[in-house]
Structure 1
Amino acid sequence: MRVWWIAFALGVVVLQRQAALPGAGGWTGGAAVLAGCGALLGWSARRRRTRAIVALRWMLCASAACAIGFGYAAARAEWRLRDSLPVEREGRDIVVTGVIRGLPVIDDTGARLLFAVESNDAGLARFPPVIRLSWRTYGAADARDTIPDLRAAQRWRLVVRLKRPHAEANPGVRDSEAAWLAAGIRAIGYVVAPERAELLDACASGWRASIDRLRDALRTRIGDALGGGARHRGIVTALAVGDQSGIGDDDWRVLRNTGTSHLVAISGLHVGLVGAIAAAIVSMVWRRLRWRGRAAALVMPAPYVASLAALTAAAGYAALAGFNVPAQRAWWMIAAGAAAYLAGRSVPTSAVLCAALGGVLLADPWAVLSAGFWLSFGAVAVILMAVAGWRAVRAFDGDDSAPDGAAAVDRRRRLRAWCTRAGRRIAEATRVQYAVTIGLAPLTAAWFAQISVSGPFGNAFAIPWVSSVVTPIVLAGIGLPAPLDACAFRLAHAALEPMMVLLGHLADWPAGVFWLRMPDWPVLALACVGVVWALMPRGWPLRWAAPMTWLPLVAPAPDAPPPGGFRLTVLDVGQGAAVLVETARRTLLFDAGPGAESTHAGTRIVAPSLRARGIRTVDSLVLSHADADHAGGAEAVYAAAEVRQLLAGIAPQHRLWRDAQAAGVADRLPCTAGQRWTWDGVAFTMLWPPRVAGAGPSNERSCVLRIDAGGTSALLTGDIEARAERRLVAGSRDALAAQILVVPHHGSRTSSVEPFLDSVGPRVAVFPVGYRNRFGHPHRTVLARYEARGIPLPRTDCDGAVRFDVAPAGGGFAFERYRDAQRRYWMDR
């Protein structure tokens, strides 16, 4: 069974790495593989049982399971993609009736919610069953004052404007399109006319609606009990109902840096804990219960009843978590273990884990696209490997009790035995923590580009504290009536405070987090092999050499351009701009993308992109001008990396200068035409604005930067418009020539005049624009000017991030589009 489910999972993983779903030829090939495996299995069944025949059978079973996993995931994906919003319906007003699913998130910018559609007026027989909506009102200081009281499982009739699930696509950044596909979200949009929204009287029914209402009610009870001033209210809510939206940025920073963020989700640890508590209570009661004069344990053995109680309680708590992947994994393990116990079979824990693996992937084949899947199953697998050699030690512990007979009972000997057992238990726990830290290091590096050095220390006290103290108190609060529930929630919050203080000190430890470049898959695979090797029992050949396999992970080979060349990446930040320029030893970031006042692209995209590249120092940050879509993400950049210099085309009294000073940027200068410097053989020249820029619009003061290396030039233009372009042509025509052009002002109608394009003469022009942006960029007339030149015109909304590799000494350049290089079947174009 273990080989079957592992091979099935491998097939699912392979499908999720495909650029396109299989066509008729693929399905025919899969059927042929299954038929061939069946025929060979039938032939081998008639042969004499030898080692070769047994090995062949295992290989055939694994191949068949892999093909079935691939086909199953492909069929599920094909069916789900059919629910996508048709292209011709994008941007149109549609009246939908449906139910709020899950917990709506409401903050000072508006509300975000999932909406299960029941009917629509678009006349579509196959409409997206679940859509993601934003509900915003403009003109209010706090949107919460004007948005209605949105509750889970309410039925509404809304006017919405939708688009296909299209997200930004960048290397090293979370794939939101994959997450939407896994959640069944096949359209996203916003409520067009909030005043026309109609709350319907009929409430939703069914088990899902009942669970959502319960979760919403519990969240409200916790909020009322703790009030708005409770700093860790979001953590208490997360432990109760799995809603992490209320956790503050400071708490997230502490939890991430100390490797304890898994504790604030209803994870497998918590689900297993609830199951164990329920089993213990029910078993204790059942052993003392009598029915018709007979002991209840004689009617049905107490362990059987305890198994069913554990399964039921774990299912209820997993439902409160929204059935996230770690909670599913824990429930399936409990279910498999309970089924084996009720059937009277002894099943290895590894087989239970593999059965849980199959159950999770049968329910959700897209689970492999989430970090929670790999970290949850990886942690359990590592723990099983780490404790595999402890059976002898535990058996020895069992013989450590004092001898029978009153004469043999000696206090000193009993104390010594107790201390010995306690020491062994602490050693076991330490080994588990060491194993989990080492075992998950490659996965955390692959998903988050970091390894938490302080994680073992933080988890050493945080795991038992949250599991033994905080979570049971939260569970008590869920079950107690008012006002006792409020007392329990306040007590849980009080118990969190000292733990968060200690974790805060660990998070501030400069060496607490080891940042590294996001590894390529060969490096990751080698590190995982090294982990398995290191966790083998003592005496395993060359076990001492296992850490050598981690060297490419922790000390990767240089990936910087050669001296005299540079790499330029136009990041896909939606409607905004951020361009990363790397030389052999230096880094420049031209604009930082939108900030918190818009799409949070600085936090969501720019900062993770820097971390994924292993960039901890930005030698120069250039903010072309003060518009939020270019400079809004600066604060996120300051938090993610050390910025040594700021060059900006902004007014002297603008707050961005003060923000840079507060962030510790020592060198702060305005952009001025004529500024020049050279890094690693690459020349940088500022062409605009002039020394006396005047008081015109901020776009006219945008910095324009030229980069030269080996006969290839790139021109970064910010948001300059026709007037600045003509002045540049008049004063710096010869300096404008460049092979690579980042199009001015996203291709707006008031930019990219013909004389400017003639002077630049680009061979590639990149449009940094957002998908279906409200400005209509790029304008069709401007796009026609570029198309008339017959050059490649990559666009970030269609192609994702665009990367240029410029070779030194006349070697030319090459470029790639992220959506082509890392194509997946769910990616929208």
Structure 2
Amino acid sequence: MRAVWCGFALGVIWLQRQAALPDTGGWWTLILAGCAAAGIAVWSLRDHGAGGSLQRRRGLRHQPARRIWRDGRVRRAAGWGAVWCAAICVGFGYAAVRAQTRLAVSLPHAWEGRDIEVVGSIKGLPTRDDKGARFLFDVDTNDARLAAFPRVIQLTWIARDAAMPRLAPGERWRLTVRLKRPHGNANFGLRDTEASLLARNVRATGYVSVPDHARRLAGHARGLAVLVDRWRAALRARIDTVLADAPHRGIVVALAIGAQDEVSPADRQLMRGTGTSHLVAISGLHIGLVAGLTGWLAAAIWRRSGWLGRNWPLRLPAQIVGVTAGAGFAALHAALAGFNVPAQRALWMAALVALAFVGGRQLARSTVLAWALGLVLLIDPWAVVSAGFWLSFCAVGAILFAMSGRPRGRGPQASRHDEDEERSAARNRWQALRAALIRSLYVFAERLRSAAHVQYAVTVALAPLTVYWFAQIPLVGPLANAFAIPWVSLLLTPAVLAGVALPAPLDAFAWRAAHTLLEGLVAGLQMFSGPRWTLWWLPRPHGWALAAAALGVLWCLAPRGWPLRWAAPLTWLPLLMPSADGALSEPSGAFRLTALDVGQGTSVLVQTAHHALLFDAGAGPESTHAGERVVVPFLQAQGVKTLDTLMISHADSDHAGGAPAVLDAIEVRQLVGGLEPDNALWPTARQHGAQTLPCVAGQRWQWDGVEFTVLWPDAGGLTGKPNAHCCVLRVSTSAGIVAGDAATRGGANAPRLTALLTADIEAPTERTLLARDRDLLRAQVLVVPHHGSRTSSTEPFLDSIDPSIALFQVGYENRFHHPNAGVFARYVARRIALGRSDRDGAVRVDVDPGARGEDGAVLTLERYRDTQRRYWMEP
């Protein structure tokens, strides 16, 4: 069954990497391939089971032994290969059927942005903050009378002047909402939000448009899931009452019910920087430890039932009671965690071990892990798109693999003569105590060595995955975890669970004790964190680099005696190389422009061979948190550790709001902005060690054969609205005047290639720039002014620029209706290659004067949703 479940998992993973679901021809190919593989497997393995065919054994008796062995080996290998192929086909087909069923229900385009009255119940735990609440809503009826209306929608209830009601799981409501199809920001190297929405079966998102018309209905939704969610909500309310404004209350909530939305940003950053984020939630480690302790305690009480005048062990062995109690508590703890993937993995493993023990069977640990893998994916085929799935299963797999070749310590061995001497010496009390102490120290040393080996195996195995998912390796992670894991597992988690189990007011003592322990944990972790070098940022690796690193992990954790184990770290070198997404194809004279998908806002990264400039940083906490959610992770995933210049075009929040997050996370050498002198960004930048400089027309510099020129605003005081004094930046190659490789490639006739970044300028500014120098505006790449609003992109301005590529940075179904239909038609009429963040995601343009095509220099345009397409993305 290990091969079957592992092949099934590979099939599921393969489906999640597809750009489209199989059509009729694909289904027939899949079915025929699966049937053929199953037939080959049955034919190849039918005589290789235990006790094989007597007739076959007699027929092979007179053949040479070498030939029999060789034929049997080849046939068996072919059979197991066919088993894998058949299981892969089954997994692929199963995941495809689930995907087709789920994608069949979606909000029609015609109903996006329209008021719809829905009746249903709140699903799961609502997420709360100062601005309102976000929650899942299970829809029963809708006034749009749509038969295929989404069953589950994700809503935001914005807190306004009136007090917002407290939302509880299972409550029934009548709400007026405005919805849109599931859509997320799509950027190179970042997680796919739409995949996570699909995994939760969320087929529409939106907000409560008329809060005054919201009505709480009588009754509650029913079901086991609702009861669990109401229990979790009640526990969160009790913790909030006890700890109130305690600084680490969010971590206590996370350890009690698995909800991490209330963890403070400071605590989240500390855990992430020390590699201990996995301890903030109910993980498989916690469930396993607590289930083990529960099983041991239940078995111990059962064995001592004689003290109560009962002989329970005579009726049912204490071992069965302990294993069953441990599995039951694992189920209870997993329910508290909301059945996340690590919790499911631990639950299935505990349940399988319990069933095998009760049935009198013994399962190999790898078989238990394979069954847990298959069951998790059988329930949720989209679990593979989450980091928790890979980190959880790979950590357990690494532990099993690393410990498989280690002999168990059996203690100090002694000869019979030594045993006689020890027996005689044991008459002396102190010598007996000394011998017992030596044995205890030896056992402790063996356990400490085993724990260190486990920590080493997990650290080595998860390092490549940590780089892939988080673009970082906490160098202090092993030391921090060596301190934090025992602290959390043996002290903090039991205190939190005691608060869960105890009634009020006794629970308050347990939770206050847990918070006191948390203060000690945070103080200890702060000793490990500090300098930037403790967190090693690396670009997100490609598949081949990750595969090489995985091979190195297996090589490094192989049993003692494996050849050339010292060479295993060499396979990790590709992780240190710049990714193809972040590297330029030419060393000098070329640049790459990436217009990020930050929703309604602007953020453009310009990279030369050795420098980087970020033009605007998207929205901040006042809106979509794009600076923290998108811009900073994107820079880290691309390996951009330092920004030579951060240019903030003007003070509008959708351009400047994300700048503080960038300054906090990335080293910025210089801030250039079209900002008022009293803007808070100036002192913030200086506190982070950045030089500050107003944005003024005429500023010019050169990096790696690429010229940067500021065209607007003029020197002097900034007057009028912010859009009137936006920074306008011109980026161009040096057209053969650059020494070195760029001049060699292009020569004196190399064309000048230009990109124009215009921020939110409007028609008056466009006319002023036209009156100064039309030739200076000519550009092949244009970041469209003011998101394509009707107050910009005038006909003369576009005629003077004459772009080949135009990029619109707009939010999906944004309330400003950008881009304006008439303005967009102007670009379409000129047959300009267009990129829109709401349809295409992030758009990348490589500008290289040395790459020569049939029509001269080549501009390479790459749209994220084209090159990284998945079947859940709309065409």
Is TM more than 0.5 here? yes
Q: Secondary structure at the match of 1:812?
A: strand
Seen in structure 2, the aligned counterparts of structure 1 residues 305 and 404 have a Cα distance that, compared at 3 Å, is farther
What fraction of aligned residue pairs are identical, expressed as a percent?
Answer: 54
Q: Is contact 1:397–1:421 with CA below 8 Å preserved after alignment?
A: no
Q: Could you tell me how far apart the structure 1 residues matched to 2:46 and 2:240 are?
A: 68
Q: Could you tell me how far apart the structure 2 residues matched to 1:531 and 1:434 are?
A: 11
- Residue among 400, 410, 413 paired with 1:384: 400
Q: Secondary structure at the match of 2:862?
A: strand
| CA deviation map 1:537-583 (0-9, x unaligned) | 11102111101101111344782452000010000000000000000
Q: Is contact 1:580–1:589 with CA below 8 Å preserved after alignment?
A: yes
Query: Which residue does 2:140 correspond to in 1?
Result: 118
Report the CA distance between 1:38 and its aligned residue: 2.8
5 Å-filtered alignment, 1:102-501, equals: 102-138=124-160, 140=161, 146-228=163-245, 230-289=246-305, 295-392=311-408, 394-396=409-411, 406-407=426-427, 410-501=432-523
- Residue among 735, 744, 747 paired with 2:776: 735
Report the CA distance between 1:746 and its aligned residue: 0.2
- Residue among 753, 766, 769 paired with 1:712: 753
Query: Which residue does 2:648 correspond to in 1?
Result: 623
Query: Which residue does 1:687 correspond to in 2?
Result: 711
- Residue among 709, 723, 726 paired with 1:702: 726
Q: Is contact 1:114–1:131 with CA below 8 Å preserved after alignment?
A: yes
Report the CA distance between 1:106 and its aligned residue: 1.8
Q: Could you tell me how far apart the structure 2 residues matched to 1:45 and 1:330 are?
A: 33
Seen in structure 2, the aligned counterparts of structure 1 residues 26 and 700 have a Cα distance that, compared at 3 Å, is same
2:57 equivalent to 1:41: no
Report the CA distance between 1:288 and its aligned residue: 3.3
Q: Secondary structure at the match of 1:187?
A: strand
Q: Secondary structure at the match of 1:84?
A: coil
Report the CA distance between 1:693 and its aligned residue: 6.1
Question: Counterpart of 1:740 in structure 2: which amino acid?
Answer: V
Q: Could you tell me how far apart the structure 2 residues matched to 1:45 and 1:360 are?
A: 28
Report the CA distance between 1:250 and its aligned residue: 0.6
Question: Counterpart of 2:509 in structure 1: which amino acid?
Answer: C
Question: Counterpart of 1:766 in structure 2: which amino acid?
Answer: L
Q: Is contact 1:225–1:489 with CA below 8 Å preserved after alignment?
A: yes
Question: Counterpart of 1:199 in structure 2: which amino acid?
Answer: R
5 Å-filtered alignment, 1:768-779, equals: 768-779=809-820
| CA deviation map 1:373-421 (0-9, x unaligned) | 00000111111122223334x2346989985674375222322232222
Query: Which residue does 2:72 correspond to in 1?
Result: 50
Q: Could you tell me how far apart the structure 2 residues matched to 1:556 and 1:170 are?
A: 18
| CA deviation map 1:289-317 (0-9, x unaligned) | 47998722222222222222112111111
Query: Which residue does 1:801 correspond to in 2?
Result: 842
Q: Could you tell me how far apart the structure 2 residues matched to 1:24 and 1:535 are?
A: 45
Q: Could you tell me how far apart the structure 2 residues matched to 1:470 and 1:601 are?
A: 34
Seen in structure 2, the aligned counterparts of structure 1 residues 46 and 340 have a Cα distance that, compared at 3 Å, is closer
Bigger drift between 281-290 and 799-808 goes to: 281-290
Question: Counterpart of 1:111 in structure 2: which amino acid?
Answer: A
Query: Which residue does 2:65 correspond to in 1?
Result: none
Unaligned runs of 5+ in 1: none
- Residue among 535, 545, 566 paired with 1:523: 545
Seen in structure 2, the aligned counterparts of structure 1 residues 520 and 332 have a Cα distance that, compared at 3 Å, is same
| CA deviation map 1:750-783 (0-9, x unaligned) | 0000010011000111111000000000001101
Q: Could you tell me how far apart the structure 2 residues matched to 1:258 and 1:111 are?
A: 30
Q: Could you tell me how far apart the structure 1 residues matched to 2:414 and 2:200 are?
A: 52
Question: Counterpart of 1:382 in structure 2: which amino acid?
Answer: A
Q: Could you tell me how far apart the structure 2 residues matched to 1:447 and 1:399 are?
A: 51
Q: Could you tell me how far apart the structure 1 residues matched to 2:806 and 2:412 are?
A: 72
Q: Is contact 2:696–2:714 with CA below 8 Å preserved after alignment?
A: yes
Q: Could you tell me how far apart the structure 2 residues matched to 1:369 and 1:32 are?
A: 28
Seen in structure 2, the aligned counterparts of structure 1 residues 813 and 33 have a Cα distance that, compared at 3 Å, is same
- Residue among 655, 663, 673 paired with 2:688: 663
Q: Could you tell me how far apart the structure 2 residues matched to 1:399 and 1:309 are?
A: 39
Question: Counterpart of 1:504 in structure 2: which amino acid?
Answer: Q
Q: Could you tell me how far apart the structure 1 residues matched to 2:537 and 2:578 are?
A: 12
5 Å-filtered alignment, 1:89-104, equals: 89-104=111-126
Query: Which residue does 2:22 correspond to in 1?
Result: 22
Report the CA distance between 1:270 and its aligned residue: 1.1
Q: Secondary structure at the match of 1:793?
A: strand
Seen in structure 2, the aligned counterparts of structure 1 residues 415 and 281 have a Cα distance that, compared at 3 Å, is closer
Seen in structure 2, the aligned counterparts of structure 1 residues 35 and 734 have a Cα distance that, compared at 3 Å, is same
Question: Counterpart of 2:723 in structure 1: which amino acid?
Answer: N
Question: Counterpart of 1:730 in structure 2: which amino acid?
Answer: A
Q: Is contact 1:746–1:767 with CA below 8 Å preserved after alignment?
A: yes
Question: Counterpart of 1:364 in structure 2: which amino acid?
Answer: D
Seen in structure 2, the aligned counterparts of structure 1 residues 654 and 326 have a Cα distance that, compared at 3 Å, is same
Seen in structure 2, the aligned counterparts of structure 1 residues 639 and 313 have a Cα distance that, compared at 3 Å, is same
Q: Is contact 1:531–1:546 with CA below 8 Å preserved after alignment?
A: yes
Query: Which residue does 1:827 correspond to in 2?
Result: 873
2:674 equivalent to 1:649: yes
Seen in structure 2, the aligned counterparts of structure 1 residues 431 and 42 have a Cα distance that, compared at 3 Å, is closer
2:39 equivalent to 1:31: no
Report the CA distance between 1:28 and its aligned residue: 0.4
Q: Could you tell me how far apart the structure 2 residues matched to 1:789 and 1:275 are?
A: 67
Q: Could you tell me how far apart the structure 2 residues matched to 1:41 and 1:476 are?
A: 52
Q: Could you tell me how far apart the structure 2 residues matched to 1:545 and 1:42 are?
A: 41
Seen in structure 2, the aligned counterparts of structure 1 residues 404 and 480 have a Cα distance that, compared at 3 Å, is farther
| CA deviation map 1:575-627 (0-9, x unaligned) | 00000000010000000000110000000000001000111100001101110
Using the size of structure 2 for normalisation, the TM-score is 0.91
Q: Secondary structure at the match of 1:487?
A: helix
Q: Could you tell me how far apart the structure 2 residues matched to 1:148 and 1:640 are?
A: 36
Question: Counterpart of 1:754 in structure 2: which amino acid?
Answer: E
Bigger drift between 632-641 and 807-816 goes to: 807-816
Q: Secondary structure at the match of 2:773?
A: helix
Unaligned runs of 5+ in 2: 48-55, 57-70, 736-751
RMSD: 1.9
Seen in structure 2, the aligned counterparts of structure 1 residues 757 and 115 have a Cα distance that, compared at 3 Å, is same
How many residues were matched structurally? 821
Using the size of structure 1 for normalisation, the TM-score is 0.96
| CA deviation map 1:481-536 (0-9, x unaligned) | 11100110000110111111110121214322111111111001100100110000
Bigger drift between 332-341 and 501-510 goes to: 501-510
Q: Could you tell me how far apart the structure 1 residues matched to 2:709 and 2:368 are?
A: 63
Q: Could you tell me how far apart the structure 2 residues matched to 1:431 and 1:46 are?
A: 41
Question: Counterpart of 2:681 in structure 1: which amino acid?
Answer: L
Q: Could you tell me how far apart the structure 2 residues matched to 1:675 and 1:399 are?
A: 83
Q: Could you tell me how far apart the structure 1 residues matched to 2:173 and 2:123 are?
A: 11
Q: Is contact 2:499–2:508 with CA below 8 Å preserved after alignment?
A: yes
Q: Secondary structure at the match of 2:34?
A: helix
Q: Is contact 1:169–1:175 with CA below 8 Å preserved after alignment?
A: yes
Question: Counterpart of 1:582 in structure 2: which amino acid?
Answer: Q
Query: Which residue does 1:753 correspond to in 2?
Result: 794
Q: Could you tell me how far apart the structure 2 residues matched to 1:292 and 1:520 are?
A: 63
